[in-house]
Amino acid sequence: MAAAVRDAGIPVLVTHGAGDEVVPVADGLRAFDDLAAEADRVGATAVGELPAPTGDELTATRFTDEDPPVLFARSSGDVTVAVFDGGHELVYYPALDWLARVDAASRA
C-alpha cells in the first residue's frame, strides 16, 4: 500500500515517541522508509542509530518550542518523519498544523 500512497503524492506526517512502549519506534521509521525515496531512507531500527536533526529538518516537522524535543527528523518528497522525546502520545500542534496545511493546499 505504501507504493500507492507514494505514487499518488499523498502527504504523510509520521510522528513517533522515542519511548513508545506500545508501538516500537522501528515501525514508524519503517513506515517512513516505505514512503521515502531510496536515497532518503533511514534504515535505522533504534533511536540510538539516528543522527540529530538539522534546522531545515526541524522546520518540516512543525514542532514548536512548546512541544516535546525532536530527536530525529527527515523529509522525502511528501513524507516527513519526526521522532520526539515522548511515549505513545499525540503531539497536537504539529498534527493539527500539518492537517490544516494539507487541507489548504488541497483547496488551492
Digit-coded pLDDT (tens) for 4-33: 888 787 889 999 999 999 999 999 999 999
How many domains would you assign to the chain? Answer: 1
Cell output for 102: 494539507
Q: Is the pLDDT of residue 87 over 90?
A: yes
Range of the domain at 47: 2-107
Indicate which CATH number applies to the domain containing 101: 3.40.50
Closest C-alpha among 94, 7, 19 to residue 28? 19
> In sequence order, what are the residues at sequence separation of 6 or more whose Cβ sits closer than 8 angstroms to the Cβ of residue 81?
14, 15, 16, 28, 29, 31, 32, 42, 72, 73, 74, 75
Average of per-residue pLDDT across 69-82: 93
Q: Is the pLDDT of residue 48 over 80?
A: yes
